[in-house]
Chains A and B, each alone.
Chain A
């Protein structure tokens, strides 16, 4: 709990940085203990966490858009109810994460402003469009599958509130992945057109899903420090390899293929070898030139502005009742 803690001054930053504080922090990290909100922590550690948790939170709420796109056109009431629950979960995940970020002394409003101004990023995967119903399945299976691979190690991250938020999120993500798999499984056993639709979705989402693990290890700028701090537990390439190894078998069960001619089992390594990733495309999408970057950000700002009257009304109601209560008390 983070009471008695002024978010304006950031927990612990009022404590002078001295040798003892640094030493105590280092000892906690070395002993694989958790850092908690009001502990002293190096500024760079705090900044790294704010950047990472905010980016993660933004991804959750931006991620509501590509899937929300299909709520009104879900093929059955069952599918619609499931999709609504899933999109609501994404909003919930965003909220857990904004709360975790706030324990580091930054305001949620401030983080939303940074997102809306394009100064903080979200996962590049959400800049791809959902063209067909099968895309909802591919997102659940591949995108949420890759997210789980990334997120499970974060449950042991050195920052307590982030780790605890991730435990909740991971529990909920497995429903997301299974519902996606089920959508594709149903389509793949349907008419030839339906199967082709499922295959097309996998073809479009496969490579962007592999990019979700971030740049190759030798080019990952933050990795070494994040590993030393116990924020990151496995390298980008390690997690990507695990994801490929896990997913290929699942594709076989679906009766679908992954769009990679170089994919083959390497008995010597005990892993699948896979083809080269188009990192230029990754850089382009991160830079803002993906198919849906502008649309996603525009929709997010619009939703925020359209909701302003609701926030104002709730505040006015709270103020009115607080005033009445005061009048009654006096």
Chain B
């Protein structure tokens, strides 16, 4: 056994489109040496019962995410714009289809 076999395969995130008309959704992750194998493994691990019609695999290392501890400040800009919600507006009585 050479050293390579000890070196773990990279991690891939798996996204599955359950059926036409739906977006791909994250279902989990797996290890594979390359994209082709990741796709095949994803099929065997995550779609054994027809759970999908399309699969994406993405190297986990390629995903950039915000820091959960900055959650409040990161999403701050959305909090103070109540006028973005339809409920902000007064609708006069009698106005229909608004």
Contacts and interface: CB of A to CB of B under 8 A. Distances in A.
A pairs with B? yes
Interface of A: 1-5, 7, 12, 15, 21, 36, 38-40, 85, 88-89, 92, 95-96, 99, 102, 107-109, 164-165, 168, 172, 305, 308, 311-312, 314-318, 321-322
A164 B25 CA distance: 13
B68 A36 contact: yes
Contacts of B64: 3-4
Given A3-B64, A5-B60, A40-B69, A92 B8 contact: no
A107 B60 CA distance: 14
Chain A interface secondary structure, helix, strand, loop or mixed?
helix
Given A7-B11, A102-B11, A109 B6 contact: yes
Contacts of B44: 88, 92
29 contacts: A1-B63, A1-B65, A2-B11, A2-B63, A3-B58, A4-B61, A4-B63, A4-B65, A5-B60, A12-B68, A38-B67, A38-B68, A39-B69, A85-B48, A92-B45, A95-B30, A99-B30, A108-B8, A109-B8, A308-B1, A311-B5, A312-B5, A314-B9, A314-B34, A315-B5, A315-B9, A317-B33, A318-B33, A322-B34
Chain B interface secondary structure, helix, strand, loop or mixed?
mixed
Interface residues of B, number: 33
Interface string B1-28: 1101111110101000000000000101
A159 to B, nearest CB: 14
Nearest to B65: A4
A3 B13 contact: yes
Contacts of A308: 1, 5
Given A109-B6, A315-B7, A1 B34 contact: no
Interface string B71-89: 0000000000000000000
A258 B58 CA distance: 50
Interface string B22-58: 0000101111111001000000110011000000001
A3 B34 contact: no
Given A312-B2, A312-B5, A102 B29 contact: yes
A109 B30 CA distance: 13
A6 B52 CA distance: 29
B95 interface: no
Contacts of A164: 28
B34 A2 contact: no
A5 B65 contact: yes
A124 to B, nearest CB: 27
Nearest to B13: A1
B27 to A, nearest CB: 8
A5 B13 CA distance: 12
Nearest to A161: B28
Interface centre among B7, B26, B33, by most chain A C-beta atoms within 10 angstroms, is B33
Contact of A165 (B28, B37, B62): B28
B65 A3 contact: yes
B45 A95 contact: yes
Contacts of A315: 4-5, 7, 9, 33
A39 B30 CA distance: 21
A154 to B, nearest CB: 16
A38 B29 contact: no
Contacts of B49: 172
Contacts of A1: 13, 26, 60, 63, 65
A92 B69 CA distance: 33
A109 B49 CA distance: 28
